Amino acid sequence: MRVVIADDAVLLREGLIRLVEESGHTVVAAVGDGPSLVDAVTTHRPDVSIVDVRMPPTHTDEGLRAAVRARALVPGSPILVLSQYVEVSYADDLLADRLGAVGYLLKDRVSQVAEFLDALRRVAGGGTVLDPEVVGQLLVRRRRDDPLRGLTPREREVLALMAEGLSNTAIARKIVVTDGAVEKHVRNIFTKLGLHQDEEQHRRVLAVLAYLQG
């Protein structure tokens, strides 16, 4: 895969470069601010970009905004965004164009190399990936009349994993059940929550998220 890396901290940028290249991919550009990211994406059309949310000059969310701009110029260009802490609005902004191929992970997740690379591959393949902590926060802020209470603990687990962007197979592997069991859970969930079942993975994520946030 051809990868673009955008992070203003030199230490982390180099770490990511090494990590990606040691896994057999190629880093076509490594940049340190928003405008350079947009240029790199439009010039190189990478298979996936890894972008830090915090960039100069204000070090708040320039990276995120640059990612959104890049997606506007190159629709559907896969982007994996890394953030120091959970900010649910970032997830909203990323998913807003509803094209999939988007990921939002916490920076700490990078140390779990295998999972990070897997997430990278999934985003490059058009899937949607959300950090479990983001999902955890979404599951927490609920209203009093909470239909999620009608779900069994197992179903809640499956719901969370769906929101993270895992496919049925991946969910099955993670919680160690059969594919069939997962599919049954998914159907129950969608019925109980009154959601329209969607085959496409990233649209499923959107639906669940929309539900959790609404």
Partner 1 sequence: MPSVDNMTTTSYAAPSLAASTGGRLLRRLGIDTQYVLLGFPLGLITVVLFMTGFFLGLGLTVIWIGLPVLVATLFLARGFAAVERARIRPVLGRGMPHPFYKRRPDAGPLRRVLLPLTDGQSWLDLLHGMFRFIPSTIAFALVVTWWAGALGGLTMPLWDWSIPRGPADQDLPELLGMGDGTATRLIFYFAAGMFFAGTLYPVVRAAALLEAYFARGLLSGVNELREQVAEANAAREAAQAQKAAAVSAEATALRRLERDIHDGPQQRLVRLAMDLGRAEQQFATDPEAARATVAEALHQTRETLDELRALSRGIAPPILVDRGLQAALTALAGRCTIPVDLDAPPMERLDPAVESAAYFVVAEALTNVAKHSHANEVQVAVRRNATGLLITVADDGVGGAGLAKGHGLAGLDDRVRAAGGVLHVDSPVGGGTRLTAALPI
Chain residues in the site for partner 1 (CB under 8 A) = 9, 11-12, 14-16, 18-19, 22, 84, 107-108, 110-114, 116
Phi, psi of 130 (to 5 degrees): -125, 140
Q: How far apart are CA 31 and CA 100, in angstroms?
A: 24
Comparing CB distances to partner 1, the nearer of 16 and 161 is 16
The distance of closest approach from Cβ of residue 15 to partner 1 in the complex, given in angstroms and rounded to an integer, is 4
Whichever of 15 and 125 has its CB closer to partner 1, that residue is: 15
CB of 153 to partner 1, least distance (A): 31
Question: What is the nearest approach in angstroms of partner 1 to the Cβ of residue 18?
Answer: 7
* Residue located via tokens 């940028």: 13
Residues recorded for the chain: 214
Half-sphere exposure of 126 (CA within 13 A, CB side): 5
The token pair that represents 120 in the structure block: 């990278």
Nearer to partner 1, 22 or 179 (CB): 22
Spatial distance between the Cα atoms of 129 and 114, rounded to a whole number of angstroms: 15
Least gap, CB of 112 to partner 1 (angstroms): 6
When the beta carbons of 43 and 60 are compared against partner 1, the nearer one is: 60
Which helix (H) or strand (E) covers residue 120, if one does?
helix 113-124
Q: Is the CB of 18 or the CB of 142 nearer to partner 1?
A: 18
Cα–Cα distance for residue pair 198/105, rounded to 1 Å: 24
CB of 14 to partner 1, least distance (A): 8
